[in-house]
Chain A
Amino acid sequence: MNEQSLGFINQLIDKTERGKLSWSTGFEDGQFKTLLPDGKLAFVVQVKGERCRFLMLDDRQEVILDATVTRDDAHLDKVQGGIDQENLYEAILKLQELARSRALRVNEKLTKAGELLAAI
């Protein structure tokens, strides 16, 4: 399950970096969502406190994949010699940061802020 989630997360990171996916804010803090064309699939990524969560839902809003990992899980896994949870944790963190940047248009706002400050 985690391997599949990791595969999808990496694909989402790639598509988001290329600007092919648009993200919007979800309901909870640190939650972002994206819908594929025609609403056939939806992906939700969330980082709240120490908990990272990745969801994949189908067109009927049924949860197909639900991967949740905490910082402790990732750390424990690393100590025990595993890399699965650690990779998943890092990947969700990276995707959430990208999604936040796209959903809140962070880069555009930073550029505008720079221009406004320069104009003062």
Chain B
Amino acid sequence: MRSYGCDRGFLPLARRDWRIDFSLFLVSGYQYVRYDAGESVFRMILLDIPIPRDWFDWTNFTIGVSGLALTLWAIWQATGAKKAARRAEQSVIRHNAEVDFGSLTRMAKELHGYVEGGMMSEARLRTTDLRSELALAIRLHEAFLGDQLNLLKEKQLDLTLVTDGLNRESKDLSKSERIRLLEITGAIMDLLAGQCGKLRSSVERGASNE
């Protein structure tokens, strides 16, 4: 019987089992792959940075990590400071708007008082002042007025018509015109006071949030 190298450790071809061959192939292959891939993955994870081995390496490593942490903390702090500065800026602008609308409300109260007292020449002057100041405030603080902007513009138109009417015939106002004038000045006073209150509340809310 031919041995086919059985004496040198080989099985005869007829007796060789393919399952044993495949297992042997897998085991040898796994060992080869495990060795190479394991090393390259290990290098990839550490980004080719050698593992700290002595005190010098460990010091370098600690300083590096601390530096990174400090940089991240500084970025976080700077972002917070930027947000706080923006909030403070908005708060100042709101405060200015509140002051302006407070002054307009006082002016509207005066005007209403003059109309109630029948002091038409004073009312005429106050109307002109209020009209120009209101136009300025609307231009400056348009961003904070929201849905009140249209109402304020309507009141601005009322003031224009009142100024026009009073300039032409302040002494010859009819009874219905006097009543309408009282209504208009009263409505302007209410609207401005409401707007002032809204702005004050938003300033206080902003301050409490900070």
Contacts and interface: CB of A to CB of B under 8 A. Distances in A.
A61 B156 contact: yes
A66 B160 CA distance: 14
B154 A39 contact: yes
A59 B176 contact: no
B165 A27 contact: yes
Interface residues of B, number: 20
A67 B164 CA distance: 15
B150 A35 contact: yes
A37 B162 CA distance: 22
A50 B164 CA distance: 19
Contacts of A33: 157-158, 161
Given A28-B161, A29-B176, A44-B161, A39 B184 contact: no
Interface string B167-210: 00000001011001100100000000000000000000000000
A42 interface: yes
Given A39-B150, A61-B135, A28 B177 contact: yes
Contacts of B174: 29
Contacts, number: 48
Nearest to A26: B161
Categorize the interface residue count of chain A.
10 to 19
A33 B159 CA distance: 12
Contacts of A60: 135
Contacts of A115: none
A31 interface: yes
Contact of B160 (A37, A38, A57): A57
B150 A57 contact: no
DSSP class of B's interface residues: helix, strand, loop or mixed? helix
Contact of A27 (B131, B154, B181): B181
B157 A57 contact: yes
Contacts of B165: 27-28
B153 interface: yes
B149 interface: yes
Contacts of B160: 57, 61
Nearest to A33: B157
Contacts of A38: 149-150
Contacts of A59: 153
A24 B162 CA distance: 14
Given A27-B184, A39-B154, 18 more contacts: A27-B161, A28-B165, A28-B177, A29-B176, A29-B177, A31-B161, A33-B158, A33-B161, A35-B154, A35-B157, A39-B149, A39-B150, A39-B157, A42-B157, A60-B135, A61-B135, A61-B157, A61-B160
Interface of A: 24-29, 31, 33, 35, 37-39, 42, 44, 57, 59-61
Interface of B: 131, 135, 149-150, 153-154, 156-158, 160-162, 164-165, 174, 176-177, 180-181, 184
